[in-house]
Structure 1
């Protein structure tokens, strides 16, 4: 006969983690990929006023902040409220080899697209090997063994 024991504290914590707490990244889901000589981050920001989007670069950290304002709650009785509101932030640690002075951002249809180009110095390139033909041999006198 199988028995089931319940730990009410574990059950409450599981409920809290799965329903009430949302991770910071849940409010700003992101896709990050490389396309040719650039990296692209696409961040979902539906319902965000474009005027509240702020992108900063400090050292090697790119920070994206945005705000989603709550609807007026004066005469409202909420039945379900799942859309997060407030100020959200997402940080990316940038590697070396990016042209940080040429980063571009575009907000369209609720999606922020940040394009991070690879710097010219970091792009792969070929090195030409020069071949000198008809070299000459240099003769050096042989050294005699030193005996002690």
Structure 2
């Protein structure tokens, strides 16, 4: 009598490894961003609603022209050039606000539709609206001041 024969299940190991690698990369980015935020770099809040992400960053002392927003696939990079004010009041005793080029990066689980991405800047708050997309297309997002 012949025994039954079953095909082996397809291995899910590559999917699990890829997911772990993505989570590790995301965790490292979050760790670096958290370290930068604890040093006063760029404070932000991120929200998700339906198929959109909303990011708000506090950027006191900069103008819309000082801000760069780049979106590539699932990654968003926000960079700002914060200029150090002239010291007309004498020598500095304490400086806690960072100056120079500062940036934050975020890695999302889904690609962003760059054609629907919007950025606005008002009263020191940068607001980004990111729509989840199916295709990968890099784009620099212009920031509009009010």
The normalised TM-score by structure 2 is 0.59
| Alignment partner of 2:79 out of 58, 61, 65 | 65
Task: Specify which structure has the higher proportion of strand.
Answer: 2
4+ residue stretches of structure 1 with deviation over 4 A?
none
Task: Specify which structure has the higher proportion of helix.
Answer: 2
Root-mean-square deviation (Å): 2.4
2:92 match: 78
Q: How many residues align?
A: 100
Q: Which runs of 5 or more structure 2 residues have no equivalent in the other structure?
A: 1-33, 136-146
2:35 match: 23
Post-superposition shift, 1:109?
0.6
The normalised TM-score by structure 1 is 0.59
Q: Which runs of 5 or more structure 1 residues have no equivalent in the other structure?
A: 1-21, 122-148
Find the aligned partners of 2:134 and 2:35 in 1 and give their Cα distance: 37
Structure with higher RCO (Cα < 8 A, 6+ apart)? 2
- Per the alignment, do residues 120 and 56 of structure 1 end up closer, same or farther by CA in structure 2, a change over 3 Å counting? closer
Structure showing greater Rg? 1
